[in-house]
Amino acid sequence: MVDVSRKEATRRVAVAAGSVTLSAEAFRLLRQGTLAKGDALAVARLAGIQAAKRTAEWIPLCHQVPLETIEVDIALAARGRAARITARAEARWTTGVEMEALVAVSAAALAIYDMTKGIDRGAVIGPIELLEKSGGRSGTWKRGLVR
């Protein structure tokens, strides 16, 4: 692991996003909340939150970060039949929370896949990407901004 003991604790925020693209039938059942396994959106939100809190167990050499907040939101886009997942992680710490936000999105996407796979094994996860981060020595970064 990288030594962060000499770094200053600052407010760290990261936002990540990803999507799960589904068949028409799987998307319809997801939107209606009538999947056989239950409320996939609620389960996916909880899976994302739970996974973010355990990121250091998922990712080798990743620091354990005391999260102050993790938010997981899922919006359904009828055009494209996609569940768009956004996660926002925040902590006051010596290292960033990008991995926590990315893990939250990944776990939420996997939960949606798990709950819809009986109808649509061909569901597609991705792309999963960091949208922005702030705090620490490197400051603020936003996807798409020219530096």
Indicate which residues carry an active-site annotation: 114
By the 10 Å C-beta count (0-12 exposed, 13-18 middle, 19+ buried), 12 is classed as buried
Q: Supply 49's token pair.
A: 């939150």
CA distance 75 to 66: 27
129 beta partners: 17
